[in-house]
């Protein structure tokens, strides 16, 4: 069994662990180090398996990306489950990222107006590790859609690796992205 062959990270001295940089990770991806069906992302210098997606995760991601795509200008694009160059050691694949459309760029974007994570099993990571990475990348707005409770945590005002403002929206509330005026998404309209 693989788990018995892998060292328990808590037993290793922190100064002995060498993080993988985003540049090294991208190089490994380009060289085909990973099976194309393997769902992993780079978080804080460590390769992390991504949770499988259930029907509700897929439905919420599809619904939100469709609404956002319909309502943004030509200068922006909605990227769904694609790499985001957050920090030197973080390249998560957010469920949704609204970024400036730059067809000439040959890199993953490192700036976003809005990032959305749809969270089932990944809720704790989305509230901690990813929240910190997105805040350090100065993503102006970050949503965590909690599928179990069907509510949306809206984080704004990134500063020093966290967000200064957190709002909790439920049925009866409306999502209004701060940097995307005119878009209104009732929380009650999310698939359940």
Tokens at 56, concatenated = 């509700």
| 38 DSSP assignment | -
For all residues of the chain together, what is the average pLDDT? Answer: 93
pLDDT digits (tens, 9 = 90+) for 8-42: 767 777 777 889 999 999 999 999 999 888 899 99
pLDDT digits (tens, 9 = 90+) for 95-140: 999 999 998 899 999 999 999 999 999 999 999 999 999 999 999 9
Q: Are 171 and 143 in contact (CB under 8 A)?
A: no
Three-state DSSP state, 192: coil
Q: Report pLDDT for 7.
A: 65
The dihedral built from the CA positions of residue 108, 158, 183 and 92, taken in this order, carries a sign that is positive
pLDDT for residue 1 is more than 50:
no
pLDDT for residue 187 is more than 60:
yes
- Strands, sheet with 76-80, edge to edge from the N-terminal-most edge strand: 76-80, 96-100, 114-119, 141-146, 151-159, 162-169
Q: Are 102 and 126 in contact (CB under 8 A)?
A: no
pLDDT for residue 2 is more than 70:
no
Q: Are 118 and 109 in contact (CB under 8 A)?
A: no
* 1 or 83, which is more confident: 83
Q: Return the residue matching tokens 């990270």.
A: 9
CATH of domain 52-189: 3.90.1570.10
């Amino acid at each position: 069994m693989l788990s018995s062959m892998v060292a328990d990270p808590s037993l290793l001295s922190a100064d002995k662990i060498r993080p993988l940089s985003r540049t090294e990770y991208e190089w490994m991806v380009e060289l085909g180090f990973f099976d194309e069906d393997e769902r992993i992302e780079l978080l804080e210098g460590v390769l992390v398996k991504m949770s499988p997606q259930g029907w509700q995760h897929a439905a919420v991601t599809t619904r939100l990306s469709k609404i956002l795509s319909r309502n943004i200008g030509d200068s922006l694009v909605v990227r769904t489950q694609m790499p985001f160059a957050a920090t030197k050691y973080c390249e998560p694949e957010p469920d949704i990222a609204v970024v400036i459309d730059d067809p000439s760029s040959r890199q993953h974007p490192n700036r976003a107006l809005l990032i959305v994570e749809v969270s089932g099993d990944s809720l704790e990571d989305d509230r901690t590790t990813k929240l910190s990475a997105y805040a350090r990348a100065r993503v102006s707005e970050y949503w965590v859609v909690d599928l179990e409770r069907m509510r949306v945590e809206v984080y704004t005002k990134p500063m020093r690796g966290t967000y200064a403002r957190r709002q909790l929206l439920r049925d009866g509330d409306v999502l209004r992205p701060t940097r995307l005026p005119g878009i209104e998404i009732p929380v009650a309209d999310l698939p359940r």
